[in-house]
Amino acid sequence: MAFHQNYSYLTDQLPPSLIQESWRRLTMKKRDPLTEIEAGNINLVIENFLKHEVERYNQKKERQHQYTKIRDDTNGIDHFIPLESAELTHQSTASSIEQDRQSPISSEISCVENTELHSSHTLQTHTKYLKKLRQDLISKINKENVLYLKNEREKLTNENVKYLETERKRLQFEYDCHFKEFSDASYKLKQKFEDRYKSKVSTMETQFYSTTNEYDKKIIDLTSSINRYKEDMQSLKKTNKATLEKINKLENKCRQLEDVVSAKDQKIISLNDKIISYYPRG
């Protein structure tokens, strides 16, 4: 249970009781207490706290040097009055003792006067002391508030920085996860569309090739039919030509036969005429 040796220049200015009290206040405070390991290390909060305790201790010593403690036996209360007032009180007490030695009556009168003077002076002194004490307390409270607000501001700033950093890391992690999911989904969708496109193209190519093959077959069949028809036409033309030649020959023969028949008819008619001439009717 000891502060870091770098703070020895502060702990040397404090008594052991205040050092123990400072250690206890740092490690046992209600809000954000420090562990013994943290309290034994270098920390800005510890340094500011020890500086504040040294300042308070020095102010307290200065006030103790400026005031002296007087105990009121009637009430059993300790009063703090300035040293000057204490010296005046001691002087008045000494003078009253001296006067008591000289005359009892004058000593009683002076004692009453000194008591009244002391009471009024004590009241004024207490008023001034309370006023100064109030100012000191206000100044001390203001300093403590400023220090507390500064520490709280630093603490809140650090907490905000840590919180913002944590939130940034969390949001970055979520963004990376969502981006990865989106990338995977996009890649899968792209692959799906590419597969569908390839399948569609393959189907269309197959249909096109099959249709082309059918058309090619039909064209080949039509071409062969046309060629066959051409051959048939040529053969028909040749056949028609031979037939025409035969018909012409037959027509010529028919003409010749008609001529022969006509000649024979003429001969028959002439023979008949001759026969009739030889054998007239009658």
Q: What is the pLDDT of residue 178?
A: 86
Q: What is the pLDDT of residue 279?
A: 66
Radius of gyration of the chain (CA): 72
Spans of the chain, pLDDT less than 50: 84-86, 88-90, 92-94, 96-109, 111-112
DSSP assigned state of 12: T
Closest by Cα among 24, 56, 48, 53 to 152: 48
Q: How far apart are CA 79 and CA 85, in angstroms?
A: 12
Q: What pTM does this model have? A: 0.28
Q: What is the pLDDT of residue 94?
A: 47
Q: What is the pLDDT of residue 109?
A: 46
